[in-house]
Structure 1
Amino acid sequence: MTRWTASLPMYNVTPEHAAWWRSLLSDSLAIVARASDLGDITIGNAPAGELMSHWRRKDLLLSQTCGYPYRMLGLANDVHLIATPIFDAPGCEGPRYRSVIVVSAQAWKRGAKTLEACRGLRAACNGADSHSGMNALRHAVAPLARDGRFFASVLWTGSHAATLRALTSGAAEVGAIDCVTFALLHDSHLAPFDGVQTIGMTASAPGLPLIASRALGEEQADVLRDALDAALAADPERARKLRLRGFARLAGEAYAEIETFANTAAQYGYTELR
């Protein structure tokens, strides 16, 4: 019997959000199980630090990735693009999103109220393979960089929440946060993010895609897409808590914009966030 695994690792910003995402996933897969004979399905947790290998699993029924590994690191060659969520958050337009550019309270008081005024500050970034934290910020900074440099240093934090903590602790002064993550964290009223100031947003790009292994057939992929729509509609309150309005069915080529961000920065000679 075929066995499948599924997880939604990208927007579990609090334990409560993780539970709501797991509930949505469970309901979606229950609909899939009734509509298609796929065999056993296990809802698991994506291993921290090993997401690329997780996303390339042959038995992956559903997960969520970032547009950067999907387009720039070859993941598109290994997976089905199932859908792109549509969120209700400042910075989102349909299935597109932006990054919120933020500075620490101390940097704000010293006059860092525009991106250009952030020259020479200490940046924080969740990861080098992140569109929202790295690629979008690199694209925004590139026209302002001099000799391939803009920031005094870059601290790699591992997550957007950790980037915000770095700003509040004084370990860094500026960063870019996925606008959906930023909105969900604000909803949770977490005190450690008090004092962080928004100074702008990056250009928009297609949101974080839901993916499945290419071992899944095309008809089964369509069943999965329909199941996501049905599960979302079945619980409006859960959708509200997740700021989730729907799912768009984009073509994979829509994510070429992610590469355009990188290419534009390279034209300015700014190939690394620094």
Structure 2
Amino acid sequence: MSLHGKRKEIYKYDAPWTVYAMNWSVRPDKRFRLALGSFVEEYNNKVSDTETRLECLLNNNKNSDFCAPLTSFDWNEVDPNLLGTSSIDTTCTIWGLETGQVLGRVNLVSGHVKTQLIAHDKEVYDIAFSRAGGGRDMFASVGADGSVRMFDLRHLEHSTIIYEDPQHHPLLRLCWNKQDPNYLATMAMDGMEVVILDVRVPCTPVARLNNHRACVNGIAWAPHSSCHICTAADDHQALIWDIQQMPRAIEDPILAYTAEGEINNVQWASTQPDWIAICYNNCLEILRV
């Protein structure tokens, strides 16, 4: 990554607590705003923001004291009234949001379950909508059974297994290519490689990115290019890869950055594609690429 020139190339923020997650604002007028997530073991720990209000609480388990924890969610970019969640109870749930009558100055928002399906044989760890087929109806999920499965809201009677880990290791995350919906990336629990898949060729990886020397924690496709992807891992490395030569083997990344700690998340700014954010320990760093 470029570290030279007149403009500052790295910005760093030291938080008072460990940073586990972060992401960029997608508002064009707030391009350099990020949200951070952490965990503080304090009974009174809470988020306080006078500018936000609860619009809608989505709860599909109102008759039970037990609610299976959610592991991930994804908002549909084409239809903002659709939201997908995954859970350890093996299911994926697609929620529909509806804006009702205006009460005072507030539009009342309600949510309902459009569909809930048993997506995997074990816990589901991630869900993400695809931009294929118009970008509204198709999504994929990964889980503890070691598989990547693809679903179509128009034909939920069956799913397509895109990939199965040879050793049946749990798959933790998946990430769709932002420019070419045929490609997605996934990673296994405690795995040191990222697997690139082509949905047109199920079960056969088109590339394996394996230069990391410790387990991979984050994946981020470039928002403006179909052939660039960034991976981050416990080896302190954030690596950018050029995958144009697929299906030939991709040996080395084109750019590398070494942080001062184990990187647990990476995000590529959709409104500022020359900036990548990483977090490790209690630090957030923004890197110009």
- Judge same fold: TM > 0.5, yes or no: no
Question: Structure 1-normalised TM-score?
Answer: 0.23
Higher strand share: 2
Question: Structure 2-normalised TM-score?
Answer: 0.22
Higher helix share: 1
